[in-house]
């Protein structure tokens, strides 16, 4: 594992990025290269490299991340119009940052797949 993920550097203020939500376990930023009008990243402060590395003890954390996504969807007024939550895992899944994160995408009609 590399020493720090990009997301850890953002959390530690070594890389500039506005933190739009933060609690003791989770923080959230806007994606630097948005794939939709609204594209947020919900990130645990604890570094877990991929969804494959999740442990039983992470159950509450993952649940909390989904609840934060739900609240942000409401805050950004896309809860009724609709949105997509995505976890990319490893190369074929398109994962580029090996510190798990939940993508929240919306604000427009999303491409079907």
- Residues at the site binding ligand 5GP, with contacts judged by CB under 6 A: 6, 15, 17, 29-33, 41, 88, 94-97
Whether the CB-CB separation of 10 and 74 falls below 8 Å is answered with: no
Min dist CB 4 to ligand 5GP, Å, is: 12
Half-sphere exposure (CA, 13 Å, Cβ side) for 68?
25
103 is catalytic: no
Min dist CB 39 to ligand 5GP, Å, is: 7
The Cα 7–Cα 35 span in angstroms is 18
């Amino acid at each position: 594992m590399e020493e720090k993920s990009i997301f850890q550097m953002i959390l530690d203020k070594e890389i500039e990025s506005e933190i739009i939500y933060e609690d003791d376990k989770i923080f959230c930023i806007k994606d630097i290269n948005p794939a939709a009008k609204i594209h947020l990243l919900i990130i645990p402060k604890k570094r877990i490299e991929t969804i494959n590395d999740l442990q039983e003890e992470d159950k509450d954390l993952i649940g909390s991340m989904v609840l934060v996504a739900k609240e942000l969807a409401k805050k950004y007024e896309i809860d009724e119009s609709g949105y997509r939550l995505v976890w990319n895992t490893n190369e074929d899944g398109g994962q580029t940052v090996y510190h798990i994160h939940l993508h929240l995408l919306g604000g427009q009609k999303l491409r079907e797949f």
